[in-house]
């Protein structure tokens, strides 16, 4: 008897890797492949009015069909079949803003805003505060929002010679959850930022453009004079507060690179590869330290988008139209291929934050002089000063520099000097005071902390994340302030000892450092608060600027510099101060070759050495330290050391 066998071939069904919403289509991605289905068709399938729909590839060729299957959607493309859960498809379809591309679009808020009744509910999930920011960065953002709000309500922020506390739109501002409160304040009225803002850029974008931008899949952040940085759907109140270099809110957002750190955290968290900046206005663009951002994010690419025929507010309408009509039509792959200096529809994509397209290549004068940048081993300081020098050359060659162009140059030089002093002198002072006076509770014996001069309170907090830079005015009068406060018996021993240490460590060189700080603090004060500097002012003063900066560079990086080999040796010496200073300095090098020595220091008998070793491992950023830090945490008995180990592991994202 013949037996007939029927063999059934079971087709392999692959799972869709991810689903994206792009303008008028859902994209189903499987490996390098992308399949497109029109939103209209998906809507009808979900609504039960159609059974299937066509699937298209990147070239808009019809390649298959999609249909519901039990609790999923099946895509049949040639001989292949792919599956996506129905709930995932519906979640993406219903989402208004679900970014997942490696591109971030950076916008500015607007002077004109929609003033109409909003919601009393604060949708916290839409806030940038819920975007996984580092704890200290999140705290800094909330604290800065609170400070700007305080100045808005109590005076000190002006616009066109009018104090903004008298603005009608600021009268109803309340300190709700958007400012770190536990609940919305009475009378709070919130609208999503993208709906609230109605200035030239947003008006040109239009309602349709706003919706297309939100559904583009690209990340969006908005710079705000009151809130710092907000997500597009973040609830914001009605307010009147622009970013202006001559207002205290600008200094607040620039202080300690507050917004730069927020932006860097966001970039790292979401894997951003490219930022396209469409703010158009110098003060908004300048609130971010772009050099520091690139360094902190391992060189994220930044493109500043300039309209060829107008700068500042005059370019906003054109930028809005460009985003609506051109930018949102470009596929992600093409946006990632744009080269610096390329042009599209009267727009220039520049990797420089200052326009260089119209600059004449004027020869630099022979007596221009130069900073001794090659002498500076500290990458952060060298980059800050090099960027300022490059900015000065660009402004010098610009046909129409702004009337206050020199002010930003003064601030750039001053910031470089401030970083230099913090990293080299501040580090030594912190190491010395802790080596002499810290007890095992990480508090200072023989000293009332709150009676210390402000400079030392900034430098000696118990928590590393609370250490602040001493400003240049503080450095200029540090010795005098220590001497004046030494008459207080509660701190006299510490301050007298510290004065003697400064004399031993730096001698007469500290007088020269203070002279440089006095010079720059006076000019920085005028550049920031009381007036402006033109480009001509800077060029006339350049010879003196170079003399002061190069003197400080020689003192700190030649006379008193310790190279890596010296630091590795000092990290094992018997003197407690030398050991602590070397451990802290190794962290500032960001050198992975220092990891072994720092890991070894985690087992040092001295609790201070162990604690500072953990701090430095976090700064170096090498994840090889994760396991040793975890093992040390289990064995450690000193609570202060444990706290520093936890903080270091958070910096390294050890998990």
Higher pLDDT, residue 92 or 149: 149
**pLDDT tens profile 224-248:** 999 999 999 999 999 999 888 778 8
Higher pLDDT, residue 7 or 342: 342
Higher pLDDT, residue 66 or 409: 66
**pLDDT tens profile 637-653:** 999 999 999 989 988 88
Looking at residues 448-456, what average pLDDT do you find? 83
**pLDDT tens profile 365-385:** 778 889 999 999 888 898 889
DSSP string covering 131-167, please?
S---HHHHHHHHHHHHHHHHHHHHS--EETTEEGGG-
Query: For the chain, what is the mean pLDDT?
Result: 87
Q: How is residue 149 written in tokens?
A: 């709000």
* Of 249, 214, 581, the residue nearest 431 (C-alpha): 581
How far is Cα 545 from Cα 392, in angstroms, rounded to an integer? 13
Q: Strands 301-307, 274-277: parallel, antiparallel or unpaired by DSSP?
A: parallel
Least confident of 11-15, 61-65, 109-113, 121-125: 11-15
Q: Which long-range contacts (CB under 8 A, 24 or more apart) does 80-83 make?
A: 80/14, 81/11, 81/12, 81/13, 81/14, 82/13, 82/14, 82/15, 82/16, 82/28, 82/30, 82/35, 83/13, 83/14, 83/15, 83/16
> In this prediction, what percent of the chain has a pLDDT beyond 90?
45
Q: What is the pLDDT of residue 525?
A: 52
How far is Cα 530 from Cα 520, in angstroms, rounded to an integer? 15
Instruction: Assign 528 a pLDDT band (cuts: 50, 70, 90).
Output: very low
Angle at the Cα of 54 (from 48 to 56), degrees rounded to 5? 140
Q: Are 431 and 581 in contact (CB under 8 A)?
A: yes
Instruction: Assign 445 a pLDDT band (cuts: 50, 70, 90).
Output: confident
Q: Strands 274-277, 103-108: parallel, antiparallel or unpaired by DSSP?
A: parallel
Q: What is the pLDDT of residue 400?
A: 65
How far is Cα 612 from Cα 605, in angstroms, rounded to an integer? 13
**pLDDT tens profile 202-220:** 999 998 899 889 988 899 9
Residue 476 Ramachandran class (φ > 0 left, ψ -120 to 50 alpha, else beta): alpha
Question: 357: Cβ–Cβ under 8 A, 6 or more apart, which residues?
Answer: 306, 308, 341, 348, 350
Least confident of 7-16, 90-99, 196-205, 567-576: 7-16
**pLDDT tens profile 556-594:** 998 888 888 888 888 888 899 999 999 998 888 878 888
Q: Which domains does the chain have, with CATH numbers?
A: 13-94 (no CATH), 103-350 (no CATH), 413-559 (no CATH), 564-652 (1.25.10.10)
Higher pLDDT, residue 195 or 532: 195
Angle at the Cα of 328 (from 207 to 286), degrees rounded to 5? 90
Residues linked to residue 38 through DSSP beta bridges, in sequence order: 25
Instruction: Assign 655 a pLDDT band (cuts: 50, 70, 90).
Output: confident
Q: How is residue 155 written in tokens?
A: 């005076």
Q: What is the pLDDT of residue 529?
A: 42
Q: What is the pLDDT of residue 530?
A: 42
Q: What is the pLDDT of residue 267?
A: 95
Question: 363: Cβ–Cβ under 8 A, 6 or more apart, which residues?
Answer: none
For CA atoms 456, 460, 465, 466, give the dihedral sign: negative
How far is Cα 646 from Cα 617, in angstroms, rounded to an integer? 11
DSSP string covering 541-594, please?
HHHHHHHHHHHHHHIIIIIS---HHHHHHHTTSS-HHHHHHHHHHHHHHT-GGG
Looking at residues 471-482, what average pLDDT do you find? 91
Q: Strands 158-159, 162-163: parallel, antiparallel or unpaired by DSSP?
A: antiparallel
**pLDDT tens profile 492-526:** 888 999 999 999 999 999 999 999 999 988 875 55
Query: 101-139 burial by CB neighbour count: b if 16+ within 10 A, else e?
Result: bbbbbbbbbbeebeeeebeeebeeebbbbebebbebbbe
- SS3 assignment, position 220: strand
For CA atoms 204, 208, 213, 214, give the dihedral sign: positive
**pLDDT tens profile 118-134:** 888 888 889 999 988 99
Length of the chain: 655
Q: Is the pLDDT of residue 6 over 50?
A: no
Residue 621 Ramachandran class (φ > 0 left, ψ -120 to 50 alpha, else beta): left
How far is Cα 367 from Cα 97, in angstroms, rounded to an integer? 55
Instruction: Assign 1 a pLDDT band (cuts: 50, 70, 90).
Output: very low
């Amino acid at each position: 008897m013949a037996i007939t066998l029927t063999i059934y071939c079971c087709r392999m069904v692959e799972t869709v890797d991810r689903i994206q919403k792009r303008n008028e289509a859902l994209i189903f991605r499987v490996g390098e492949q992308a399949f497109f289905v029109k939103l209209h068709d998906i809507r009808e399938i979900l609504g039960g009015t159609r059974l299937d729909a066509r699937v298209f590839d990147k070239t808009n060729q019809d390649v298959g069909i999609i249909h519901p299957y039990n609790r999923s959607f099946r895509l049949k493309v040639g001989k292949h079949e792919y599956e996506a859960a129905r709930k995932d498809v519906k979640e993406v379809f219903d989402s208004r803003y679900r970014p997942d591309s490696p591109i971030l679009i950076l916008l500015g808020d607007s002077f004109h805003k929609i003033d109409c009744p909003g919601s009393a509910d604060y949708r916290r999930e839409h806030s940038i505060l819920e975007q996984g920011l580092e704890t200290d960065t999140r705290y800094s953002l909330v604290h800065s929002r609170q400070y700007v709000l305080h100045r808005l309500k109590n005076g000190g922020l002006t616009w066109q010679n009018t104090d903004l506390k008298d603005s009608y739109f600021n009268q109803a501002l309340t300190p709700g959850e958007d400012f770190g409160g536990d609940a919305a304040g009475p009378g709070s009225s919130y609208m999503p930022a993208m709906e609230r803002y109605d200035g030239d850029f947003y008006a040109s974008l239009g309602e349709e453009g706003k919706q297309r931008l939100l559904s583009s899949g690209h990340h969006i952040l908005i710079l705000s004079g009151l809130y710092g940085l907000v997500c597009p759907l973040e609830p914001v109140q009605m307010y009147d507060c622009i970013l202006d270099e001559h207002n205290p809110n600008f200094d607040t957002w620039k202080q300690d690179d507050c917004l730069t750190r927020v932006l860097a955290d966001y970039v790292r968290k979401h894997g951003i590869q490219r930022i396209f900046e469409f703010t158009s206005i110098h003060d908004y663009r300048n609130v971010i330290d772009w050099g520091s951002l690139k360094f902190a994010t391992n060189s994220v690419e930044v493109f500043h988008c300039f309209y060829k025929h107008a700068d500042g507010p005059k370019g906003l309408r054109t930028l809005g139209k460009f985003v609506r009509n051109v930018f949102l039509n470009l596929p992600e792959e093409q946006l990632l291929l744009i080269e610096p200096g390329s042009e599209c529809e009267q727009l220039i994509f520049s990797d420089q934050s200052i326009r260089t397209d119209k600059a004449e290549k004027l020869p630099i004068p022979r007596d221009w002089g130069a900073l001794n940048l090659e002498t500076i081993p500290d990458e952060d300081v060298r980059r800050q000063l090099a960027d300022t020098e490059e900015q000065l050359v660009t402004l010098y060659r610009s046909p129409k520099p702004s009337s206050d162009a020199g002010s930003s140059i003064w601030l750039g030089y001053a910031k470089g000097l401030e970083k230099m002093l913090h990293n080299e002198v501040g580090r030594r002072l912190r190491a010395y005071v802790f080596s002499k006076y810290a007890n095992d509770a990480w508090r200072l014996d023989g000293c009332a902390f709150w009676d210390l001069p402000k400079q030392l309170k900034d430098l000696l907090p118990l928590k590393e994340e609370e250490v602040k830079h001493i400003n240049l005015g503080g450095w200029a009068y540090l010795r005098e302030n220590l001497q004046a406060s030494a008459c207080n018996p509660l701190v006299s021993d510490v301050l007298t000892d510290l004065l003697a240490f400064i004399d031993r460590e730096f001698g007469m060189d500290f007088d020269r450092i203070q002279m440089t700080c006095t010079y720059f603090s006076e000019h920085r004060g005028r550049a920031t608060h009381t007036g402006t500097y033109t480009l001509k002012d800077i060029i006339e003063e350049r010879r003196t600027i170079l003399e002061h900066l190069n003197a400080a560079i020689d003192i700190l990086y030649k006379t008193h510099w310790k190279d890596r080999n010296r630091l590795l040796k000092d990290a094992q010496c018997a003197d407690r101060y030398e050991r602590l200073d070397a451990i802290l300095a190794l962290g500032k090098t960001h050198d992975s070759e220092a990891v072994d020595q720092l890991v070894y220091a985690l087992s040092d008998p001295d609790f201070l050495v162990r604690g500072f070793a953990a701090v430095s491992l976090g700064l170096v950023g090498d994840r090889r330290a994760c396991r040793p830090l975890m093992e040390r945490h289990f064995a450690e008995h000193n609570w202060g050391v444990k706290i520093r180990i936890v903080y270091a592991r958070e910096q390294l994202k050890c998990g």
